């Protein structure tokens, strides 16, 4: 089967050109694996990574790309991925890489980005790899390593934040070829909780992360912002800082009066944590039940009230 050209129609049937549709997803799947056939049809990340930086640059020039490190470092400030940077090369230069070498410029941009860019200036490809690595740690029940890995991604994301945009939509447009940033941000919050159960310092990291998120993206989806703020309050409780936890919950229910989970979390503070006050927990659960519209929310509160009766 012949290789699909970057300007051919995408085989998925979308009607778009391959380079504007599925090409980046397909390349992500094959770029970092060595094809098992005796002769690889596509050049791989590993092959290019074996070359020295000077050798990679010479190859780029051979293929018609007048690489200059100064220009490259300026380009990585503008582009979010090696894929996009490579597209710019193909647009501005007569790139002669063909056949098996057609992917060389992308692999080269990816690897040179890793080698030459400042540590926090991560490409989409690097972030995607780190996110995948984090999930490997999650599968191994190593939450602290997962969080350490994902917090590196978060630092890279913060480096790309533009203050005029106050939700994640603009970043999602840049990164959705590799990962969904809203899912990642919520996964990181959850895993910081899990890590905190092993090492309490991660509850402190969770507080900082969630505060940063809310400060950077105040107009993000209301449910996500609510969950981040509830996570802050819960983390204070886990650290035994109950006054701060109560203060956060009080502000949370004031700002989100129609979300029962503020009251649920607040009630949990007096039921499940060391600061027991069953009467106060019941009062807060009942306030949450009064505003709950979703059956699952109501059931969650009723289950707590039933457990509370058994304890009293």
Alpha-carbon distance values, 160 to 1, 128, 129, 187 (Å): 40, 15, 18, 20
pLDDT tens-digit profile, the chain (312 residues): 344 555 556 776 665 655 556 666 555 555 444 333 445 578 999 999 999 999 999 999 999 999 999 999 999 999 999 999 999 999 999 999 999 999 999 999 999 999 999 999 999 999 999 999 999 999 999 999 999 999 999 999 999 999 899 999 999 999 998 999 999 999 999 999 999 999 999 999 999 999 999 999 999 999 999 999 999 999 999 999 999 999 999 999 999 999 999 999 999 999 988 888 999 999 999 999 999 999 999 999 999 999 998 887
Q: How far is CA 39 from CA 5, 36, 135, 287, in A?
A: 20, 8, 32, 67
Task: State how far the Cα of 7 lies from the Cα of 247, in Å rounded to an integer.
Answer: 57
pTM of the model: 0.83
């Amino acid at each position: 089967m012949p290789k699909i050209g970057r300007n051919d129609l995408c085989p998925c049937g979308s009607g778009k050109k391959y380079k504007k549709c599925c090409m980046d997803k397909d390349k992500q799947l094959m770029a970092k694996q060595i094809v098992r056939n005796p002769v690889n049809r596509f050049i791989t990340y590993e092959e290019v990574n074996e070359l020295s930086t000077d050798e990679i640059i010479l190859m780029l020039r051979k293929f018609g790309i007048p690489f200059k490190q100064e220009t490259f470092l300026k380009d990585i400030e503008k582009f979010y991925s090696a894929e996009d940077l490579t597209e710019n090369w193909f647009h501005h230069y007569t790139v002669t890489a063909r056949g098996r070498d057609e992917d060389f410029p992308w692999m080269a941009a990816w690897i040179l980005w890793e080698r030459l860019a400042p540590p926090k200036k991560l490409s989409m490809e690097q972030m995607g790899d780190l996110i995948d690595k984090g999930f490997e740690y999650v599968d191994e029940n190593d939450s602290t390593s997962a969080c350490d890995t994902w917090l590196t991604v978060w630092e890279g994301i913060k480096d790309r934040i533009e203050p005029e945009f106050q939700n994640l939509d603009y970043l999602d447009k840049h990164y959705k070829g590799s990962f969904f940033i809203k899912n990642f941000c919520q996964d990181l919050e959850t895993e910081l909780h899990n890590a905190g159960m092993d090492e309490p310092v991660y509850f402190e990291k969770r507080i900082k992360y969630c505060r940063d998120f809310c400060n950077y993206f105040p107009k993000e989806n209301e449910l996500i912002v609510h969950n981040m703020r509830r996570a802050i309050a819960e983390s204070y409780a886990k650290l035994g800082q109950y006054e701060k936890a109560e203060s956060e919950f009080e502000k949370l229910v004031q700002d989100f009066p129609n979300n029962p989970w503020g009251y649920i979390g607040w009630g949990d503070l007096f039921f499940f944590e060391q600061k027991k006050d069953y009467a106060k927990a019941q009062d807060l659960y009942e306030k949450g039940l009064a505003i709950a519209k979703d059956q699952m929310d109501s059931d969650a509160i009723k289950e707590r009230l039933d457990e509370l009766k058994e304890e009293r």
